[in-house]
Amino acid sequence: MIRTSCHCGAVGFEIETAPSEVTDCNCSICRRYGVLWAYYSPTLVRRVEGGPTETYEWNNHAIAFHRCRACGCVTHWSSNDPTRDRMGINARLMEPDVLAAARVRRLDGAVSERYVD
Ligand SMILES: [Zn+2]
């Protein structure tokens, strides 16, 4: 079991398993956020600190990017399709040793949507 927390602690998750890999995506939004995504089924993720988030959507509005309303950390993205069994957790909000143990994969989300490592 691992935990994530934004800087102020208002938004946090408990997750069943540490990520074996995280994704560094170069698309227009991810490169600006500077996040590393760990993808999970929402059924494996539990919101333990339920502070308010603000969201941002663009393009086809398929997913919403959440940030803590107090400290501004990007915490996760959620799908606007409730049947989609996938969400993204910002692995930068995990403990450093958890993140250090994960392989960082480079995703060319800007062009090919393929991993390029
Ligand atoms: Zn916060």
Around Cβ 69, how many Cβ atoms within 10 Å? Answer: 14
Concatenating the DSSP letter of every residue in 46-58 gives EEEEE--EEEE--
DSSP state of 114: E
Q: What is the pLDDT of residues 63-114, one digit of tens each?
A: 999 999 999 999 999 999 999 999 999 999 999 999 999 999 999 999 999 9
Can you give the C-alpha Rg of the chain in angstroms? 13
Domain span at residue 88? Answer: 2-115
**Going by C-beta distance under 8 Å and a sequence separation of 6 or more, which residues neighbour residue 117?**
105, 106
CATH number reported for the structural domain that contains residue 69 in this entry: 2.170.150.70
38 alpha carbon – ligand 1 mean position (Å): 19
pLDDT at 63: 96
Q: 13: which 2 tokens?
A: 């998750």
Taking the centre of ligand 1 as the mean of its atom positions, its distance from the CA of residue 52, in whole angstroms, is: 9
Q: Are residues 47 and 109 in contact, defined by beta-carbon separation less than 8 angstroms?
A: no
CA of 84 to the centre of ligand 1 (A): 26
Q: In which element (H, E) is residue 15 found? A: strand 11-15
C-alpha span between 70 and 62 (Å, rounded): 25
How many whole angstroms from 7 Cα to the centroid of ligand 1?
Answer: 5
- Other C-beta atoms closer than 10 Å to the C-beta of 33 total 18
CA distance 103 to 43: 23
Structure tokens at 112: 């090919």
Which pLDDT score, from 0 to 100, does residue 59 have?
86
Structure tokens at 87: 């969400």
42-59 pLDDT, tens digit each: 999 999 999 999 999 998
Q: What distance in angstroms lies between residue 54's CA and the mean position of ligand 1's atoms?
A: 11
Q: How far is the CA of 75 from the centre of ligand 1 (A)?
A: 9
The domain tally of the chain equals: 1
